[in-house]
Structure 1
């Protein structure tokens, strides 16, 4: 998404709020010039063919989702409604209004899903005398994301999104319809709306999904208002109606229900009330290091990881084109497979021979794992006759990082690799500031940054909930298209890895919320404080992203666009990741 002016003006991560402007980007495939063609050769430890899917034997893990929190009381919500009409607009001008689906539509359904109708009717009746009970922040976010719908035209017809004309709903569209309906039931709006014809053609399963999503929204509203008993009752209903192996809507409702339950437990414990269950652990990174198979499957079947890998390596190659000595400082080496690609690319250069490739891995844990990665890289370097050295800088705390810990050579070109790293230090800003000062002293020729392109750092719980819900809906749509429903790796990735990330964003507090995603506009403002300027990724890097995406059966849904000089990687137009390059002035 394009960043607003307020994004550019933001110079601190403390209390970063959501930017609620709609995207002005036209998402589509980028067609660029010639790019890197990486030759692959057989190696028993790393890869066995020229196909990029040969990276299937190593650990890759996806980004975790985390954030910060603050709650508004009912009185504060009412005051915000009165004070913020210019910002939020009148409820009857919400662009995502659609007609509230009559409960009678579901008559004749199974007993299980008939309970959805009963619960929704109870919610609707409870609001008749309190039409603005729902959090204003949640209304704002739901309205903003319900952009797949338009208001009545002059002919009195509601124009649906193209996808909805097929009488089929993705998870994202299901959440948008549920949000629009929920806004109407909460605000009393909708007298001037008509039920679109396409909606009546939806299957019973699709209608059930919409209603299940409504119950989840109602539970989030109750949690935001600290009405924990009512929220727990709604979550019990969600648990009866969904599971981690159901359809995509059921899967995401399952994950969010678990997160809301954890939120309730923590809040009740905080205010001195006995919790409702056992607190869940939130060590997402440890989980990703201990279970590699789901991440291997993800890397093979979902385009994001490989698009990021090849495009970032191409960017590095272009920025060290004339360097005979290249020193890569990797703050999160993970499997290290990306550096095998770099080796091959540097060896393939005709204009400049490589005298040394040096990699320095920085870590605060898993030293043995990183040592094993170093040995594998050394084996691969010998195979390609690459002069190579590998060093590990182990730290107890990132505050210990100093420039004198590095073995530096005046003749080498330094590259900084920061994949999903910076967000992990936002919760302790002094660590981020300290790391940036060290990076500045190293004065790299390029710093490649990959981050999640979403704002899950709002101090308002309801803002984080809505942003995360639509972000994850797009992600779950992607997993549905790229992986089979009964794939155990997918189930693990969604309910365990992704689920723990969701719980961290919504339930954790203070230093337990160790990862806090913000958008590229906030990172631009932050980097500018240290005298950094954004670097063009280059046409070859963009071509690499497009080329790799096309290798996947679902690649046409992986959308690529530019936000300034930054590559935005998304799913059917929803931004999910940003890839950018930087250097000091």
Structure 2
């Protein structure tokens, strides 16, 4: 996929201009966090890591909440039961609206809607397109892009299934559907345009802050004694996560610090320039020796000689949701891993979606995507209710395009592919890299943030070996892992 931007293009969503009106916000730094929560952090460091997660997510009424992923699983179980009893879902739901029992009174409508969607997907998988469209029409009666999380998920996935049916039939999309599918903006350019709104909303998104705390402090721990540090970021975005390391290096007493270099990799020179200006200004306020380099390149074309490496630097690499973009080209992914190996980093920290939307068969791919995006919509519903602008862009533009690509596209056109941690373990092992522990203190520190709000306590944290698995109300969502070269690991 060509991700090169037209630097003169303007995002074409009417509400994006409002994003500039929100005030810039600098995320809470590690040092500020320690000042505010030092006593609690000490207690957590001495405790059990299992205490980081909450087994029973609670809603605002203090009653056990049935999450959107849980509803989708319940609907899947109901569909299996109906199939075994040869019950027609369309006929049943049409005559039993609102009467499914066994759940709280406000849930049945959403449960039936989830049942209709998955029955439609099953019909699509079996090429029973006429029956599938009847189910999707009924979905359309109840789904809404502004309703409950379940209604929003169904609205998004029903659109994708409609598109898949039209593609299979060879029918030209209707004008209305063309309008919905037409690329309304370049998300990467919008990230710059809406940076103030995004930085504010991310402060309230548990996954972003948790992984930023853990990733950056694990990197800091790996280069703790270095006088010169080189950080390579495969997708720097607004760069706010590096402020944690910059502040820590600026006040380091044990070993005088000489220089920090950040190399940003990306295809948009405009985005990286804006981020570089901001980071350079921030470093200046700290009196931190700093340089910023841009490597304008797609990951699949990256080469080790693109970086200005120096012999006395300690190198660390951070990949935030980037490796999955190369799954469509397995040979390019392996070439990228070869580049990482040749750079000989002290540590590589990787964040990825914890889902297998790369499955070759449609039913498995649909189920994985449905659970992943159910968790994402549910999380946004709880954490971004005060950030309407960024939420609208996420739910009405970015998510639908991701889902449609997973559901509709095939072959090389299907570039939205994700894998679970087991896949990444095999890949890194192939290139002589082994998993290493994430910094425990950073896990404890980040968990304090999750415990600071009842809303954020719905975020669950588990360990899969040395890998951190974050979930939303128990549904796996993201993985965070750290890697070292095997020969270094044995020393």
Give TM-score, length-normalised by structure 1.
Answer: 0.67
Partner of 2:50: none
Partner of 1:37: none
Partner of 1:407: 308
Out of 72, 80, 84, the residue aligned to residue 187 of structure 1 is: 84
Say yes or no: does 1:560 pair with 2:457: no
The structure-2 alpha-carbon separation of the partners of 1:53 and 1:577, relative to structure 1 and needing over 3 Å to count, comes to farther
After alignment, is 228-237 or 575-584 more displaced? 228-237
CA distance in 1: counterparts of 2:196 and 2:169, whole angstroms: 37
CA distance in 2: counterparts of 1:583 and 1:432, whole angstroms: 18
Deviation at 1:496, TM superposition (A): 2.2
Say yes or no: does 1:220 pair with 2:199: no
Out of 520, 540, 546, the residue aligned to residue 441 of structure 2 is: 540
Q: How many residues align?
A: 423
Q: CA RMSD in A?
A: 3.0
The structure-2 alpha-carbon separation of the partners of 1:208 and 1:436, relative to structure 1 and needing over 3 Å to count, comes to same
Deviation at 1:45, TM superposition (A): 7.1
Within 5 Å, give how 1:210-249 maps onto structure 2.
210-249=111-150
CA distance in 1: counterparts of 2:387 and 2:276, whole angstroms: 36
Say yes or no: does 1:346 pair with 2:243: no
Say yes or no: does 1:299 pair with 2:202: yes
The structure-2 alpha-carbon separation of the partners of 1:183 and 1:312, relative to structure 1 and needing over 3 Å to count, comes to same
Within 5 Å, give how 1:305-454 maps onto structure 2.
305-364=208-267, 366-395=268-297, 397-454=298-355
Partner of 1:175: 72
Within 5 Å, give how 1:269-288 maps onto structure 2.
269=170, 273-275=171-173, 277-278=177-178, 280-281=181-182, 285-286=187-188
Cα deviation per residue 1:512-570 (whole Å; 9 max; x = unaligned)?
Answer: 32231101111000000100011111211211221232234422221112111111111
| 1:288/1:497 contact within 8 Å kept | no
SS at match of 1:335: coil
The structure-2 alpha-carbon separation of the partners of 1:517 and 1:471, relative to structure 1 and needing over 3 Å to count, comes to same
Within 5 Å, give how 1:64-79 maps onto structure 2.
none
Partner of 2:418: 517
| 2:26/2:199 contact within 8 Å kept | no
Deviation at 1:485, TM superposition (A): 8.9
Cα deviation per residue 1:379-420 (whole Å; 9 max; x = unaligned)?
Answer: 11111011111111112x444322222111110000111111
The structure-2 alpha-carbon separation of the partners of 1:258 and 1:418, relative to structure 1 and needing over 3 Å to count, comes to same
After alignment, is 458-467 or 181-190 more displaced? 181-190
Give TM-score, length-normalised by structure 2.
Answer: 0.79
Unaligned stretches of 5+ residues in structure 1: 1-43, 55-160, 191-197
The structure-2 alpha-carbon separation of the partners of 1:441 and 1:375, relative to structure 1 and needing over 3 Å to count, comes to same
Say yes or no: does 1:258 pair with 2:159: yes
Cα deviation per residue 1:236-279 (whole Å; 9 max; x = unaligned)?
Answer: 2211222101112111111111111222233333xxx5456538
Unaligned stretches of 5+ residues in structure 2: 1-22, 34-56, 88-98, 487-491
Partner of 1:96: none
The structure-2 alpha-carbon separation of the partners of 1:330 and 1:243, relative to structure 1 and needing over 3 Å to count, comes to same
| 1:244/1:491 contact within 8 Å kept | no
Within 5 Å, give how 1:89-100 maps onto structure 2.
none
SS at match of 2:225: coil
| 1:301/1:482 contact within 8 Å kept | yes
The structure-2 alpha-carbon separation of the partners of 1:252 and 1:294, relative to structure 1 and needing over 3 Å to count, comes to farther
SS at match of 1:301: coil
Deviation at 1:301, TM superposition (A): 2.1
